[in-house]
Amino acid sequence: MHKRNVTLALLLFAGTVFAQQSAQPSMTPGQVTPDRTQVWMADTTSGGAPSAPPAPRSFDLDAIDTTSNPCVDFYQFACGNWVKTHTIPPDQTRWGRFNELAEYNRYLLYQDLEAAAKDPKTPLQKKYGEFYAACMNKTAADQAGHRPIQPLLRKVDALTAKSQLPSLMAQLQSQDATASLFRFGSQQDDKDATRRIARATQGGLGLPDRSYYLEDDPHTLKIRQAYVAHVTAMFQLVGDSPQAAQTEAANVMTIETALARSSTPRTDMRDPENVYHLLRLAQLQALTPAFDWDSYLQGVGVGSLPTLNVATPVFFLGMNTLIENQGLDVWKSYLRWNVVHSAAPYLSTAFVDASFDFYGKTLFGQKENQARWKRCTTLTDRSIGEAVGQDWVAQHFPPTSKQSVEKMVVALESAMKQDIAGLPWMTEATQQQAELKLAAIRNKIGYPSKWRDYSKLTVEPNELVPNVQRAGAFELRRELNKIGKPVNEKEWGMTPATVNAYYNPSMNDINFPAGILQPPFFDPTKDAAVNYGGIGVVIGHEMTHGFDDEGSQYDGKGNLRMWWTAADRKAFDQRTDCEVKEYSGFETAPGTHLNGKLTLGENTADNGGLRLAYQALMEALQKEGPQAMDRKVDGYTAAQQFFISYGQVWCSGQTDASMRVSAKVDPHSTGKWRVDGAVRNTDAFGKAFGCTKGQPMMPADACRVW
């Protein structure tokens, strides 16, 4: 997943964990056992309190398909039996090692939230316990129906002129109606990373991507028709007649289709220069005369601004035309829809089910909605994650784990420094700049050094929707209060319990929440080869993001500045073009290929991270002596363990519907090609498994950037 100014290395799953591995049946590599996923799901859905899912294992011998040739399809070799023994649970759209850890993490977090809801020991526990408990109160939600959003709906109904749109938009966005028309917040200034500025960018779509409104292939048409039916049904749930609901749904599609046409394609937004347009407020007002920005800014509590980044000017031109040309009733339909759509997952069962039927079943192929305890645990972590995270870290992330990962980061930094110095295609002038940037990277491990203050956030018992709205308003206010102030270099963009990691080019930092520093990524009981193949590659991946097609445009201080010589940049682009072509040739399903341009940054980071982690491992083993290089564990050399550990991180399955969405919006390649795509470009892999040139995993035309 990718966000402007935060390149997420991995797929985002909220969760928490640090626990002993659970006992599972041992078996000979290559043997297939009954479906482990279904066994666990049957247990967790049997009624009563949920039971703990099995903890993930690092270097899982049971997952290996020894009948497969690793030189032909390494993913099948590393993950073949895992795929055979794990189906996608009915409440998931994909299932892999990330999900295994996220589910276990979420269960531990659920236990903490349950305890805080029943018997809080501190004021902070009382706050997040009451937030969670309000979410769990299904009876109260069903009794309330859609009453919690009626005040906002009445405000929309009271609109008498389009000139009132800006102030109403501000009210809706301040209460978590986040899909409304455009996104507004703060960011580091790309050209002056020491300061925070305001930012306005495109948004306002109820479908995952602009292509869903503009393409006319059979599948996209089917999704679009289902979306209209869904919007119609939701309007009926708030009291519209069938005919009125159809009219309102048509109005919504009129607005959203026009917004889609004005939206910048996500591949174009990968270039930071394409989304940086620093304008004076008067210039933005001249660009959009139909929208009173002073009124909007007053409404969100910002007041006047000297300048702001208008990331997507064409979008705002289109928005202005829409305001001028569409009638007030059309706009009221669109705003009513945003109110309903935003709150639907937190309203009564009828709204929850209707929302899931489209966004879960139809769009992503999810068979069942997640249990309420799962949804409420995730919501609490997402809304006030650093409140929950403080207690979680104390329980589940020991200082020894933090220290071990810090040592690995140092080892990876050393490997990257050597890599940069040895690049044959880069001149000394650019190498020196690259080394300066590498030396300036900040490392954040586990959790923030200073916790977020939630004292001004009000949480009330049994008020789910108001609590969600207040949390949204609190977060917006926190973001907007940064405008015009120095950058807080210690701030995190993820909660401690998150199973993920990221590189932030404006901060020039790499961030590893405690949630991912667990098996299968990191296991202090395993050999170095296993950990370097897991979390070591993640570390190298994030470092490489600082030098991918996007991150490489920022210098060591986080400023968007071309620090390359023209010749070196040309050589760099030639190498990334190789990856674009290579990954665009990989099929995810018959007739469906990866988008090599969309996934370029993540593919570059996968390839670079794998190479750097292997280099760091070899240096660590050399210090132990020759015996370490030749020593076998479970029949595999250290080099083989390293690559198997990496491959098994990406063992996964995904619904066909979810795969189609990913092909349009996900900047990450699928699990198979994150594995096979990276190892085929790494010479050390072929040597480790005795491959010969010309085999699929050791091609003659391999790509390399870093």
List active site positions: 542, 606
Answer whether 617's CB lies under 8 Å from 528's CB.
yes
Q: Both tokens of residue 421? A: 């110095």
Find the largest Cα–Cα distance for the chain: 80
Cis, peptide link before residue 151, omega less than 30° from 0: no
Q: What is the pairing mode between strands 502-504 and 6-8? A: antiparallel
Instruction: In the chain, count H helices and then E strands.
Output: 29, 15
Answer for the pair 689, 66: CB distance below 8 angstroms, yes or no.
Answer: no
**Tokens standing for 662?**
């990913």
| Residue 162 DSSP label | G
From the number of C-beta atoms within 10 Å of its C-beta (0-12, 13-18, 19+), residue 693 rates as exposed
What are the structure tokens assigned to 356, written together?
Answer: 């899931």
Amino acid symbol at 103: E
Q: What angle do CA 282, 288, 289 make, to 5 degrees?
A: 80
Contact 181/291 with Cβ under 8 angstroms? no
- The whole-angstrom distance between residue 84's C-alpha and the CA centroid of its chain comes to 27
Bridge partner residues of 353 (DSSP): none
Q: Is 611 helix (H, G, I), strand (E, B) or coil?
A: helix
Torsion of CA 335, 338, 341, 346, to 10 degrees: -100
φ, ψ (nearest 5 deg) of residue 426? -110, 135
Residue found under tokens 């950037």: 705
